[in-house]
Chains A and B, each alone.
Chain A
């Protein structure tokens, strides 16, 4: 495998404990280039923060990683094996699961019905509601997720609680890799703490590797082992969290903005 990226940054190190490796991924939409030669790796049990401003290419990368769309060029390796993700379902069957905020939950159904949606426990022809309630209660307790009641309608939960339920449901199918898309979006600090606690909890207990995609990195940095900054479709920084800081990341993003502004003024 290659070990040198053209710009010398974000080298894909061919280490044996990489669960996911992405090499030279580019994505074009017609004339628009969304990703340019992206290299990224995720170690087993690691929490990687994928950080970038709006429009930097985070979402495009997420869509490629979860099987929603193929890259234009480049290769994905899962546990060292080259894979082509054909669909979201295919990616999920390989153990890559994405949680898109709380969009996957059905507000009108109870927490436990959501937890077991399409995997319901049944004593044909009826639902085994009690078994599902107990199992849900047990699961959520193990994960330290607190809600008023597992029978509560999801509509009555707070944003943080809903996000936690969505994550808990994904973890239920034992994914190897969990992609969390903006898990703290539109959440207060206290709310966000629920999710951060959950991520820590998963890291120690659930044997899952996590990529957190976020544009607001202040809080995220606390739970990440490593951070990749994505700017203009390229990964421009790859450091462990202890080597960087929210301040450094902010400065990088602002510097990029200034450069773009100057260029525009010069050409105008």
Chain B
């Protein structure tokens, strides 16, 4: 039966143990090269951010001060960081959420309406607003996963709907935070009474830590990467692709609502012009700068965090030293493009590495 198996062992090439000996050095180099790339990307962003930070510290005595640091970290960076967490998760599994900035806009208004018109206790109103974020994520996932719209189009649609709802219900006017919510506001980052200034940033750091572990060290994170890296393969292995995508859209929606509430408390007003595309694009830019691939399968929460920090230091610092923000967008755009080009080239390198070995 198995006589043929031993027929010509000499034709089989090198004996077991000999395979790929010649390729081992190359493989190791490639492994180091590509494996280190993301870490290296994070390191690059970190170094650039640090250099800018030092430059502004030396250049302006107003930069490294308590009020400015509080503004930079809690006012600018924290919202970008938290939104970037959601976008990183979605980009890794091959989707994007353009509407998260409007979930942001809507959530504090919902809290306001529930307290003011429906007599909800503040805590309950906040919880319902966060659940509203989950719901928007659910709708986005339904359109994308179940009805099979590209997420770019689906979430563009929900963006307009949400913005329309915000403008209609608020008549385009800002409102004050309801008095009953103020005591919880401190916990969320309202600084009017304490002037402490770090709450929102601490929230951001805590969420980065949690979601970093979720992405790198849980089944959820592994399956998120698998879905983005090889959709068919993930499905073959029995992973519920729909469940992963629904979950990540809902996480992103909820983070959007959380950031909306936080910024409202931080600014001490609920403004229909807060949030929007600007915040969303900054979050996506942060993710991309940090090494997240737009085509899915690769990215880190830490990278998104560092990208958001870089953007915040960049915008805040130049404002402090009095350089007009307008030409800065050119630099900013070039930075994002450079990061994207690096991502695409990394993809090619990977492919080539795999084929060669």
Contacts and interface: CB of A to CB of B under 8 A. Distances in A.
Interface of A: 45-46, 88-89, 103-109, 113, 117-118, 120, 122, 125-127, 129, 144, 146, 148-149, 152-162, 189-190, 193-194, 196-197, 200, 203-204, 221-225, 240-242
B235 to A, nearest CB: 9
Interface string B231-254: 011101111000000000000000
Give the secondary structure class of B's interface: helix
Contacts of A127: 217-219, 222
Nearest to B216: A127
A157 B353 CA distance: 8
A12 B236 CA distance: 32
B35 A153 contact: yes
A155 B37 CA distance: 13
Contacts of B11: 222
A103 B5 contact: no
A149 B17 CA distance: 14
A156 B218 contact: no
A149 B27 CA distance: 10
A144 B15 CA distance: 11
Contacts of B222: 109, 113, 117, 120, 127
Contacts of A146: 16-17, 19-20
Contacts of B118: none
A154 B23 CA distance: 15
19 contacts: A103-B232, A104-B233, A106-B225, A106-B297, A107-B350, A108-B298, A118-B238, A127-B217, A146-B16, A155-B350, A155-B351, A158-B357, A162-B354, A222-B4, A222-B5, A222-B12, A223-B4, A223-B5, A242-B3
Interface of B: 1-5, 7-8, 11-14, 16-17, 19-20, 23-24, 27-28, 30-31, 34-35, 213, 217-219, 222-223, 225-226, 228-230, 232-234, 236-239, 297-298, 350-351, 353-357
B303 to A, nearest CB: 14
A165 B213 CA distance: 27
A161 B354 CA distance: 10
B25 to A, nearest CB: 10
Contacts of A203: 2, 5
B31 A149 contact: yes
B13 A193 contact: yes
B237 A104 contact: yes
B230 A107 contact: yes
Contact of B226 (A109, A200, A224): A109
A106 B230 contact: yes
A154 B297 CA distance: 13
A126 B239 contact: no
Contacts of B217: 126-127, 129
A193 B19 contact: yes
